[in-house]
């Protein structure tokens, strides 16, 4: 499946993606059960994380920014079930990054 479809949507101002329902239907089965990409996506969703250790597939900053915007939009959706959100988020990460990063939580500041 092409990256063009995966990142064709636009993030909504309050969360969600314009094509999230289509992505949930197209999401490959491999991301739906015990997938390391999907698990990493949910760690980011629940506890945040430092993305400085990400190894991106693209060297283009505009592409990276758009992909990250789509990913964040998807994590903020209320329109998908949790399982669909987790699966599609993992799928997105697998197309954005070269490897599943180590999860490094965001440091809390006091």
pLDDT in tens, 26-62: 999 999 988 999 999 999 999 888 888 899 999 999 9
Domain membership of residue 28 (yes or no) is: yes
Total domain count for the chain? 1
d(CA 89, CA 74): 7
Whether residue 44 is contained in a domain is answered as yes
Lowest mean pLDDT among 2-6, 28-32, 51-55, 77-81: 2-6
Predicted confidence at residue 109, as pLDDT, reads 61
Please report the pLDDT score of residue 108 as a whole number: 64
DSSP state of 53: G
The closest of 65, 59, 64, 51 to 105, measured between CA atoms, is 51
Q: What is the dihedral angle through the alpha carbons of 85, 41, 8, 6, rounded to the nearest 10 degrees? A: -90
Which of 75, 68, 65, 64 minimizes the C-alpha distance to 15?
A: 75
Instruction: Give residue 85's domain range.
Output: 21-96
| pLDDT, position 2 | 58
In a domain, 110, yes or no: no
Q: In the predicted model, is pLDDT for residue 80 greater than 60?
A: yes
Has residue 7 been placed in a domain?
no
| Residue % of the chain over a pLDDT of 90 | 75
Evaluate whether residue 8 is within a structural domain.
Answer: no
pLDDT for res 19: 95
Tell me if 3 is assigned to some domain.
no
């Amino acid at each position: 499946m092409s990256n063009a479809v995966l990142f064709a949507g636009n993030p909504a101002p309050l969360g969600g993606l314009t094509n999230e329902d289509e992505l949930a239907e197209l999401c490959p089965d491999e991301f739906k059960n015990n997938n390391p990409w999907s698990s990493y996506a949910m760690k980011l969703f629940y506890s945040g994380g430092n993305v400085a250790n990400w190894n991106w597939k693209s060297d283009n900053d505009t592409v990276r920014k758009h992909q990250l915007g789509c990913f964040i939009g998807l994590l903020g959706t209320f329109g998908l079930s949790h399982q669909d959100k987790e699966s599609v988020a993992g799928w997105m990460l697998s197309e954005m990054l070269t490897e599943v990063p180590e999860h490094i939580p965001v440091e809390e500041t006091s």
